Amino acid sequence: MAGILGVEAHDGNPHVSPGKSKADSQEACVEPTDLMRKEHYMFLLHQRDETVIDGVRTKQHSLANCVDCHVSYDNQGKAIPINAEGQFCQECHVKTATNITCFSCHAAEPRYPKHKNITSSSVKEINELANNITYDK
Amino acid sequence: MINRRKFLVKSATALAITFVVPSIISNKAHAKKPLAEKVSDKQSWGIHIDTSKCIDGCTACVDACNEENGLTGFGRPETDSQWIRKVTVKSNTTDKITTMPLMCQHCENPPCCDVCPTGASFKRIDGIVMVNQHTCIGCRYCMMACPFKARSFVHETLTQQNTNAPRGKGCVESCNLCVNRIDHGSETTACEDACNNLGHSAITFGDLNDKNSKISLAMNSNNPRRLRNDLNLDQKVFYSNI
Amino acid sequence: MNYTLEKLKTCRYLYWGTFLFLGFLVLLGLASSAYMEHEGHYVTGMNNQIVWGLPHIFAVTLIVIASGVLNIASMSSAFDKKLYKPLAPLSALFAIAFLVSGLIILVLDLGRPDRLIVAMTTYNFKSIFAWNIFLYSGFFVILSIYIWTMLDFNVSKFSSVVGKLAFGWRIILTTGTGSIFGFLVAREAYSTAVLAPLFIIMSLLYGTAVFYLLLRIISKMQNITIPSEITVNIRKLIIIFLLANIYFLILYHITNLYISKQIAIEKFILLDGGGYTTMFWLGQVGFGLLIPLFFELTNKDNRDFPLTLTSIMVIVGGFFAVAVIIIGGQAFPLNIFPDHTIIESSFFDNNIHGYTPSIYEFGLGIGGTSLALIIILILITNLKFIPAKK
Ligand code: SF4
Ligand code: SF4
- CB–CB contact C347 B149 (8 Å): yes
Angle subtended by helix axes C128-151 and C54-77, to nearest 10: 40
Fold entry, domain B45-240: Alpha-Beta Plaits (3.30.70)
Give strand ranges (E) for chain C.
3-6, 340-345, 386-389
Could you tell me the residue ranges of all domains in chain B?
Answer: 45-240
Quick one: closest CA in C to B239, which residue? C337
The pLDDT value recorded for residue C292 is 96
Give the B window 49-78 contacts with A, CB below 8 Å.
Answer: none
* Residue of minimum CA distance from atom 8 in ligand 1: B112
Ligand 2 pocket, residue B116 CB under 6 Å: yes
- CB–CB contact B136 C345 (8 Å): no
- CB–CB contact B6 A104 (8 Å): no
Residue B5 has pLDDT above 60, yes or no: no
Ligand 2 pocket, residue B172 CB under 6 Å: yes
DSSP-based helix, strand, coil % in chain A, nearest 5: 45, 5, 50
Residue C222 has pLDDT above 50, yes or no: yes
Mutate to test the pocket of ligand 2, among B122, B134, B142 (most ligand atoms within 8 A of CB): B142
Cβ-nearest to C129 among B117, B153, B231: B117
pLDDT band at C2; cut points 50, 70, 90: confident
The pLDDT value recorded for residue C342 is 94
Contact between C94 and C212 (Cβ < 8 Å): no
* Residue range of the domain that includes C21: 3-389
Ligand 2 pocket, residue B141 CB under 6 Å: yes
* B11/A contact by beta carbon, under 8 A: no
- Please write the tens of the pLDDT for every residue from B22-61: 333 333 344 578 888 999 999 999 999 999 999 999 999 9
The pLDDT value recorded for residue A8 is 36
Chain C residue numbers with beta carbons less than 8 Å from the beta carbon of B86 are 344-346
* A67/B contact by beta carbon, under 8 A: yes
State which H helix or E strand residue B238 sits in: strand B237-240
Contact between C294 and C236 (Cβ < 8 Å): no
The CATH code of the domain that includes C87 is: 1.20.1630.10
* B115/A contact by beta carbon, under 8 A: no
The pLDDT value recorded for residue B4 is 42
pLDDT band at B227; cut points 50, 70, 90: very high
Residue C210 has pLDDT above 70, yes or no: yes
Chain A residue numbers with beta carbons less than 8 Å from the beta carbon of B179 are 55
Q: DSSP state, B225?
A: B
Contact between B108 and B57 (Cβ < 8 Å): no
Residue C357 has pLDDT above 80, yes or no: yes
State which H helix or E strand residue B84 sits in: strand B84-91
Per-residue CA distances from C331 to B141, C41, C334 (Å): 15, 18, 9
Chain A residue numbers with beta carbons less than 8 Å from the beta carbon of B134 are 48-49, 52
pLDDT band at C29; cut points 50, 70, 90: very high
Q: What is the mean pLDDT of chain B?
A: 87
Give the B window 20-39 contacts with A, CB below 8 Å.
Answer: 33, 35-39
Three-state DSSP string of C305-368: HHHHHHHHHHHHHHHHHHHHHHHHHHHCCCCCCCCEEEEEECCCCCCCCCCCCCHHHHHHHHHH
Ligand 2 nearest atom to the CA of residue B116, by list position? 5
- Please write the tens of the pLDDT for every residue from A60-104: 899 988 888 888 877 777 788 899 888 889 888 988 888 898 999
Residue B18 has pLDDT above 80, yes or no: no
Strand partners, B91: C340
Chain A residue numbers with beta carbons less than 8 Å from the beta carbon of B168 are 104-105
Q: Which of the two residues, A108 and B25, has the higher pLDDT score?
A: A108
CA distance B117 to B129: 16
Quick one: closest CA in A to B186, which residue? A137
Per-residue CA distances from A48 to A34, A111, C5 (Å): 21, 18, 56
CA distance C367 to C30: 7
Residue B7 has pLDDT above 90, yes or no: no
Cβ-nearest to B38 among A54, A59, A67: A54
Residue A135 has pLDDT above 90, yes or no: no
Q: For the residues B112-137, what does the mean pLDDT come to?
A: 95
* Residue of minimum CA distance from atom 8 in ligand 2: B116
Q: What is the ipTM of this complex?
A: 0.91
* Structural domain count of chain C: 1
